[in-house]
Amino acid sequence: MSESHDKRELYSVDTYFAESWADFRTHVEDPAAAAELLATLVLKPDAFAGRAGRRCLEWLLARGYRAIAYRPFEFDRHTIRGLWQYQWNVASEDRKAIVDDLLTAGPSLFVLLWCDDARPASSALSRAKGPADPRRRTAGQLRHDVSAPNGLLNFVHTADEPADVIREIGVLFDHDERTRLYNAIESRPDVGDELLSAIEALDAQHGWIDLDVSRIARELDEALGGAGARQDPRAQRLTELIRSFDDPAEPETWRTICDLLGELPVKAIPRWDRLVLGTTFVVPDIPSRTPVIRGLSSGRAVRNTVHEAETLGKASADR
């Protein structure tokens, strides 16, 4: 279920995986085979603010992925830390604060996908969605094709591998909800039309937001001039920093921007504008650290086998 030895070891004693795997085995006739054909997509609040949900769905359908179940849900600090438990040891404190604010800015949407054309389907989708960093994306990748603004405002999250599909469902949903999701695997209904309606409803709930950092920089520049602060060296410094959004952020850039915004006579910045600025300028990771579990490698995905699935599931149950 995973090409990572470290992940297999850690998930064998992971409560989220163990509980979800137990439900999966109970409700799916051939769990190891089914896990290879499942993938997940989470449309985050920024996907609705940026009106990317419909485009994401169209991208998936064009590549053979079919939605068989979906659930609206809301992140909280516990599900955020549960989902990225083995990666957030590298996250800076600023990144944690901004991601908390971003993911709790409104509802998200979990989509359970089935694909007969790729095995493991989750690994194929994880690679095809493209990296978080826009500079490393290429045409044809999901995040590139829906114009996700930056490394943190990237619209979507996917499970890396079959083991992550099972574990992340365990993080996000309780036993009853997991049961309903797993029951959909046997019948595999096509819920694409219903999903599109759910996306449109969440679009309306969020409201459209212009996530263009250059627009925010321009408006802040105008606000500072209008407030009569143009000669204030702090305003000059803030303007200089805001205009540098195309350059790599220095370690203290985001904190300096926050401090200057608090000192200068400008009106409060709307939440989404602050999120765009924060995700643009924050230094996301602590350079000296490496994740407990690294992301999916660029090499071949190891096929899931019944033996591996049963071994991992048995280890979870026995410990």
Same-domain pairing of 182 and 202: yes
Same-domain pairing of 90 and 202: yes
Tell me if 133 sits within 8 A of 151, measured CB to CB: yes
Domain total in the chain: 2
pTM of this prediction? 0.91
pLDDT tens, residue by residue, 205-235: 988 999 999 999 999 888 887 555 567 889 8
Same-domain pairing of 162 and 268: no
Same-domain pairing of 200 and 244: no
In the prediction, which pLDDT does 315 show? 53
The range of the structural domain enclosing residue 259 comes to 213-281
pLDDT tens, residue by residue, 102-125: 999 999 999 999 999 989 999 999
Q: Kindly state whether residue 90 falls inside one of the protein's structural domains.
A: yes
pLDDT tens, residue by residue, 158-206: 999 999 999 999 999 999 999 999 999 999 999 999 999 999 999 999 8
Closest CA to 156 of 203, 103, 200, 207: 103
pLDDT tens, residue by residue, 61-73: 999 999 999 999 9
Mean pLDDT over each residue of the chain, to the nearest integer: 91
CATH number at residue 47: 3.30.70.141
In the prediction, which pLDDT does 304 show? 39
Q: What is the mean pLDDT of residues 84-106?
A: 97
Same-domain pairing of 261 and 153: no
Q: Kindly state whether residue 315 falls inside one of the protein's structural domains.
A: no
Same-domain pairing of 106 and 230: no
**Which of 178, 208, 238 represents a domain boundary (last residue)?**
208
In the prediction, which pLDDT does 298 show? 38
Q: Kindly state whether residue 40 falls inside one of the protein's structural domains.
A: yes
**Which of 185, 208, 231 represents a domain boundary (last residue)?**
208
In the prediction, which pLDDT does 312 show? 55
pLDDT tens, residue by residue, 27-75: 999 999 999 999 999 999 999 999 999 999 999 999 999 999 999 999 9
Same-domain pairing of 179 and 258: no
Same-domain pairing of 112 and 184: yes
Same-domain pairing of 262 and 179: no
Same-domain pairing of 138 and 152: yes
Same-domain pairing of 166 and 241: no
Same-domain pairing of 262 and 126: no
